[in-house]
Amino acid sequence: MEKTNKIEKRHLGKTEILVTPIGLGVMELAGGGGLIGRAFPVIPQEEKNAIIKAALDGGINWFDTAEMYGAGVSEQSLAIGLKAAGKSDEEVVIATKWQPILRTARNIPLTIGNRLHFLGGYSIGNYMVHQPYSFSSPEAEMNAMADLVEAGKIRSVGVSNFNPARMRRAHAALEKRGLPLAVNQVRYNLLDRKIETNGVLETARELGITIIAYTPVARGLLTGKYHKDPGLLAHVPGWRKAGMKRDLERTRPLINSMEEIAASHGATVAQVALNWLVYFKGNIVVTIPGATKVRQAEESAGAMNFRLSNDELALLDEMSRGLQK
């Protein structure tokens, strides 16, 4: 068992911004705000503060949020939690996202004030275009983002859910402005490895772009909890339940192996899933598990306290390849 005493931070792309391999996604703190807030429970701010403090105490130094996550509720909840934990702006990195749907790039400078308002004095380390859908080209969006960097309103630029072609266009547009494209945030986990075959990971490596992996435990399937107690599926929304039921048996051999590996490290199955993500492809991948409970934030942070062996990484790689849809 290889334990790590010090958490080594990684650069976001070719920027000087350093983050821990695992951050905390705070979409789940959006409950009660906007359309997407209806999908999450309303968590008391005191509990949100405790979740954020648990992440910080575990060594996490960065947080991922977005305009879309509750129309400012997630961002504001994060800022309040960071202040409650006594963290200064210099001690943390915040990534947030501009919602492009039904908008043009002209909206980017018009709404940055809202993002900064909700973040309550904390700066934006990375500002992403949340989806590849808007009425403007990637070039127009990147030029608007570059203007924000030059104005000192954000530190770096990213995208989310961009395919290789759009990544290249965004990268080229920023390069003309003397800036790197820092990140592309995409779905990536042991059960969804499309970025390894559709060119996204290869393009990111070529251009020096960091991959931020979201849904790292496949909506809970890679925690093993549903395999142990299928009755928990009763609490899963109907539109997800049928697919998860089908996936339980086909993924059971992988989960069994992950349980054995976890036991050898004094870890959990979820921690093994996170550890594989941030080490299998080297330093190019970081990830942002979410949390609605303190123990989940503690667990995610704890995944940085050990490192899977090369043999363990390879075993999970081999087993998961046969599970790709």
Residue 94: which CATH number?
A: 3.20.20.100
Q: Three-state DSSP class for 164?
A: helix
Has residue 232 been placed in a domain? no
pLDDT at position 5 is 58
> Locate tokens 């996202």: which residue?
97
pLDDT at position 240 is 73
**Tens of each residue's pLDDT in the chain, 325 residues:** 456 558 899 999 999 999 999 999 999 999 887 777 777 889 999 999 999 999 999 999 999 999 999 999 999 999 999 999 999 999 999 999 999 999 999 999 999 999 999 999 999 999 999 999 999 999 999 999 999 999 999 999 999 999 999 999 999 999 999 999 999 999 999 999 999 999 999 999 999 999 999 999 998 999 988 898 888 887 777 667 777 878 889 999 999 999 999 999 999 999 999 999 999 999 999 999 999 999 999 999 999 999 999 999 999 999 999 898 7
Q: 61: domain range?
A: 8-218+281-308
Strand partners, 160: 185
Has residue 136 been placed in a domain? yes
Has residue 183 been placed in a domain? yes
Has residue 202 been placed in a domain? yes
Which one from 69, 127, 188, 226 is the annotated catalytic residue?
69
Has residue 163 been placed in a domain? yes
pLDDT at position 1 is 47
Q: Is 226 a catalytic residue?
A: no
- For 187, phi and psi rounded to 5 degrees? -70, 130
45-81 in b/e burial notation, b at 16+ Cβ within 10 A?
eeebbbbbbbbbebbbbbbbbbbbbbbbbbbbbbbbb
CA distance 284 to 287: 10
| Closest by Cα among 13, 286, 10 to 175 | 13
Has residue 264 been placed in a domain? no
Phi-psi region for residue 218, left (φ > 0), alpha (ψ -120 to 50) or beta?
left
Has residue 83 been placed in a domain? yes
Query: For the chain, how many structural domains are there in total?
Result: 1
CA distance 11 to 61: 13
Has residue 267 been placed in a domain? no
